[in-house]
Amino acid sequence: MKVPLYSPNTERPQLAREIRRLEQDVLRMGALVEQSFRLSHQALFTRNLTTAEVLPVLDKKIDRFYRQIELDCTAIMTQQAPTAQDLRCLSAFMQLVRDLERIGDYAKDLAKIAIKIFPYAPHFCLPEIAVMSQHAQAMLATSLVALADLDEVNGRSIKRLDDAVDNAYERLYHTLAHQRCDEGVVEPILLLVLAIRCLERMADHATNIGQRVAYIVTGQRG
């Protein structure tokens, strides 16, 4: 049986308005996560540590959105008897904000890496890692546009973009793992391995968001 595409519940306009408000809150949270990602990129690749200092403040705002959206979704589920279509939207929102919260955490981790790696000379892999970061940021932006438009096709397209990030991760990991350490100093190499792992996971969470948008629209997972 084909599952109907998601549409707001016109018979219960108050519920439809509350779900729409929740969607706007998710998008506001997403904008903060995008900002965190962008600032962590600047900290790591332009060596601008001033931006790194902003990340903890942004992370607290992201966490507040995360907690409030989960509470609001739970309240609607338990108090307003939403339809099956509304329930799948609310459950997807709850999963979505977990993905966003994790991306924000990884952005904060990248800023910490930027601070620790600052005393060392720039590594020759940094330009390629920066491209990897740009791809992951583009994936996040695409997933949020898909959510704003409830665009199933755009949501599912992110999985293809994830392949480029995964391939970059494999190449960079191999390069870093086989690099000879100058004077036995391994910290900058280890920090960059952590950085590419953060970026790979951020891309995975962006992919999850796209998949969850497709689930909201179609009711089909995967």
- Contact of 104 with 36, CB cutoff 8 Å: yes
Domain that holds residue 166: 13-218
Q: Which of 58, 141, 72 is nearest to 101 (CA)?
A: 58
Q: Which position has the token pair 């190449």? A: 171
Question: Dihedral of CA 212/215/221/222: which sign?
Answer: negative
In this structure, what CATH number is given to the domain that contains residue 44?
Answer: 1.20.58.220
- The answer to whether position 51 is within a domain reads yes
- The answer to whether position 8 is within a domain reads no
Global model pTM greater than 0.85? yes
- The answer to whether position 138 is within a domain reads yes
Q: Domain count for the chain, please give it.
A: 1
pLDDT in tens, the chain (222 residues): 233 445 555 567 788 889 999 999 999 999 999 999 999 999 999 999 999 999 999 999 999 999 999 999 999 999 888 888 889 899 999 999 999 999 999 999 999 999 999 999 999 999 999 999 999 999 999 999 999 999 999 999 998 889 999 999 999 999 999 988 766 779 999 999 999 999 999 999 999 999 999 999 888 876
- The answer to whether position 137 is within a domain reads yes
